[in-house]
C-alpha cells in the first residue's frame, strides 16, 4: 500500500548510523542503535546496539544485544548477549549472559536470580516427634573393671 | 445529516466522478447538501456553514489537501469527518481503508467512527498525512524532543501524523530521516540483489515523539501536500484524539468448510 519512499519501519525506534543523539531515549518497543548515543537507552522490550554504534551511558531493557561499543552499565532483565564484535566497558546485570568468542568485556558482572537464591537460603527447621519420651541425659558410664578382694583392679593374668 | 464539500476538479475524470456523485449517494441512502469550493466560497466558509447548520457529518470529496485544510475546523467539534477519496495518497487510503469511490460511499453508510490524533505545525496548521523537509544537498539539522536532541545530516525528513500508524494506538508523531548520500547506491543495491544480500538500511532513522522542534543552520521550507507551510526552525506537536473520522468496517468471513 505504501510507496517505496514511505518506509514506515517497525513500531520501535531506530537511530541511524549518521545520527548523534544526546539525552535519554525511551521507548515501549524495541530500540536499535546504529549511530552514537551520549546518554541513556531505555526500552521495555529489546535493545540492539549494532556494530557501528557507540553508546556512552546506561542501557536498560528486557533483552540486550551488543555488537558495538558501550561505555556504561547494562541492565538486561532476561538476557544479555555480547557478540564477537561487541565491546562493553562497565558493569552488567542480567539473568542470562552470553559472551561470544572475540567479545570484549571489562567490568563487573552480577547474575540476577542466582545471588538472591543464596541470600534467601535458611537452615531447615528441626522436627520434634510429639509422642516421644523426653530424652534424659545419662552420665557417661565408666567401663566396668573387675577388682579383687582388696579393691585393686585385677590384671589380665589374675583374670 | 451529510454535508459534502467538493474540491475544485483538477482533471476531466474528476468532473465525471462529481457528476456520478449524486446518483451514488442516493443509491446508498446518504444524500445530503453538496457544495463546491470556488473563488466565491472558500473551505473555511463552507465548514462554518456546515457547523452552523449542525450537520452530523462533513464529507471531504477530494485529495489530501482538502482533508488537511478541513480538519483545521473540525477538531473537538460534535461533528464527524468523512472522506471520499479522489486523488488521495496511500496515507489517507490506508487510514479510511479504501481508495475506491464506491467503497468509500459504503463506509459512509456503515458509519464506523474512529477518534484519531492529528499533527499540529505551529502556529496554525494541522495535518492528517505528512509534512516534509527536503535538502537539495545533505544538510545538517537538530531535532529537540522529550529529553533528547539529535544531530544528523539529511536529504529528506518525513513527519507523519499519529493517525497514520492505524494498526497501533501509538499517539506519537513518527519521524523518518533519510540521507541519500549515505545509503547504498544503485551499483551496491544491484550487487546485493544478485548475491541475495540484505541492503544496509543503517542510514535511515525512525523516531517517535509527541513534541519536537526541528532546527537547521539555514532556513529550509516545510512542505505539506506540496505547498510551503513554514520554514525551519519549526515546532510540531500532537493533538491527541481530537478528530472523529469514518473508516471502513473490517469484514470477517466465516469459514464454511466444515
pLDDT < 50 regions, chain A: 1-6, 121, 158-159
Give the closest of B147, B176, B207 to A24, CB-based: B147
Judged by average pLDDT, the poorest of A59-73, A144-158, B143-157, B210-224 is A144-158
With pLDDT > 90 as the criterion, what percentage of chain B qualifies? Answer: 28
Phi and psi, residue B132, nearest 5°: -135, 150
Higher pLDDT, B187 or A131: B187
- Tell me B248's DSSP state: P
- Whether B37 shows a pLDDT value over 80: the answer reads yes
Q: Do the interacting molecules here have an ipTM over 0.90?
A: no
**Are B126 and B72 within 8 A, CB to CB?**
yes
What pLDDT is stored for residue A8 in this prediction?
57
3-state secondary structure of B91: helix
> How many residues appear in chain B?
258
A118: left (phi > 0), else alpha (psi -120 to 50), else beta?
alpha
A12 Cβ under 8 Å from any chain B Cβ: yes
Mean pLDDT score, B26-53: 88
Q: Does A73 touch chain B (CB under 8 A)?
A: no
Q: Is B90 on the interface with A (CB under 8 A)?
A: yes
Nearest-CA distance A19 → chain B (Å): 5
Is a pLDDT exceeding 50 seen at residue B255? Answer: no
Residue B111, pLDDT above cutoff 80:
yes
* Contacts of A34-37 spanning 24+ positions with Cβ under 8 A: A34/B202, A35/B152, A35/B205
How far does the CA of residue B50 sit from the closest CA of chain A (Å)? 33
- Chain B residues with CB under 8 Å of A11 CB are 165, 168, 170
**Which of B132, B105, B95, B116 shows the shortest CA–CA distance to B20?**
B105
> How far does the CA of residue B45 sit from the closest CA of chain A (Å)?
34
- Residues in chain A closer than 8 A to B203 (CB atoms): 16-18
Task: Give the per-residue pLDDT at A159.
Answer: 44
Task: Give B86's pLDDT tier (boundaries 50, 70, 90).
Answer: confident
Highest mean pLDDT (candidates A119-128, B8-17, B58-67): B58-67
Beta-carbon pairs below 8 A across chains A and B: 86
Among B192-196, B205-209, B234-238, name the one with the lowest average pLDDT: B192-196
Q: Which residue has 541492565 as its cell numbers?
A: A75
What are the angstrom distances between the C-alpha of A91 and each of A48, A64, B24?
Answer: 18, 14, 68
Given an 8 Å threshold on Cβ–Cβ distance, is A17 in contact with B203?
yes
Which ranges of B29-99 does DSSP label H, i.e. alpha helix? 43-52, 64-70, 90-96
Comparing B221 with B163, the larger pLDDT belongs to: B221
> What does the pLDDT average to over B210-234?
92
Measured in residues, chain A has a length of: 159
- Cell numbers given for B98: 479504501
Amino acid at each position: 500500500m505504501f510507496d517505496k519512499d514511505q518506509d514506515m519501519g517497525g513500531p520501535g525506534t531506530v537511530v541511524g548510523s549518521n545520527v548523534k543523539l544526546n539525552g535519554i531515549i525511551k521507548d515501549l518497543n524495541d530500540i536499535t542503535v546504529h549511530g552514537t548515543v551520549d546518554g541513556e537507552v531505555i526500552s521495555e522490550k529489546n535493545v540492539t546496539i549494532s556494530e557501528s554504534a557507540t553508546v556512552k551511558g546506561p542501557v536498560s531493557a528486557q533483552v540486550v544485544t551488543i555488537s558495538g561499543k558501550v561505555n556504561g552499565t547494562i541492565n538486561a532483565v532476561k538476557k544479555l548477549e555480547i557478540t564477537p564484535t561487541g565491546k562493553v566497558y562497565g558493569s552488567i546485570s542480567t539473568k542470562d549472559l552470553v559472551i561470544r568468542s572475540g567479545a570484549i568485556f571489562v567490568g563487573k558482572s552480577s547474575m540476577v536470580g542466582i545471588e538472591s537464591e543464596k541470600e534467601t537460603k535458611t537452615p531447615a527447621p528441626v522436627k520434634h516427634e510429639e509422642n516421644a519420651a523426653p530424652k534424659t541425659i545419662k552420665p557417661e558410664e565408666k567401663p566396668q573393671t573387675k577388682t579383687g578382694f582388696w579393691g585393686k583392679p585385677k590384671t589380665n593374668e589374675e583374670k | 445529516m451529510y454535508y459534502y464539500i467538493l474540491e475544485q476538479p483538477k482533471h476531466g475524470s474528476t468532473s465525471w466522478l462529481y457528476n456520478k456523485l449524486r446518483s451514488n449517494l442516493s443509491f446508498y441512502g446518504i444524500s445530503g447538501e453538496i457544495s463546491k469550493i470556488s473563488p466565491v466560497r472558500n473551505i473555511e466558509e463552507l465548514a462554518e456553514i456546515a457547523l452552523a447548520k449542525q450537520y452530523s457529518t462533513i464529507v471531504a470529496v477530494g485529495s489530501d489537501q482538502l482533508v488537511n485544510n478541513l480538519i483545521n475546523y473540525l477538531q473537538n467539534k460534535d461533528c464527524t469527518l468523512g472522506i471520499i477519496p479522489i486523488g488521495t495518497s496511500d496515507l489517507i487510503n490506508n487510514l479510511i481503508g479504501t481508495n475506491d469511490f464506491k467503497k468509500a460511499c459504503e463506509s459512509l453508510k456503515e458509519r464506523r467512527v474512529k477518534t484519531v490524533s492529528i499533527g499540529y505545525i505551529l502556529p496554525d496548521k494541522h495535518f492528517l498525512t505528512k509534512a516534509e523537509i527536503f535538502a537539495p544537498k545533505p544538510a545538517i539539522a537538530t531535532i529537540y524532543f522529550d529529553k533528547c536532541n539529535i544531530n544528523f545530516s539529511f536529504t529528506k525528513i518525513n513527519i507523519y501524523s499519529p493517525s497514520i500508524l492505524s494498526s497501533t494506538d501509538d499517539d506519537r508523531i513518527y519521524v523518518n530521516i533519510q540521507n541519500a548520500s549515505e545509503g547504498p547506491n544503485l551499483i551496491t543495491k544491484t550487487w546485493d540483489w544478485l548475491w541475495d544480500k540484505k541492503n544496509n538500511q543503517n542510514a535511515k532513522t525512525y523516531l517517535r515523539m509527541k513534541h519536537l522542534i526541528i532546527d537547521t543552520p539555514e532556513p529550509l521550507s516545510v512542505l505539506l501536500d506540496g505547498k510551503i507551510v513554514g520554514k525551519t526552525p519549526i515546532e510540531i506537536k500532537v493533538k491527541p484524539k481530537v478528530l472523529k473520522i469514518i473508516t471502513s468496517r473490517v469484514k470477517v468471513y466465516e469459514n464454511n468448510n466444515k
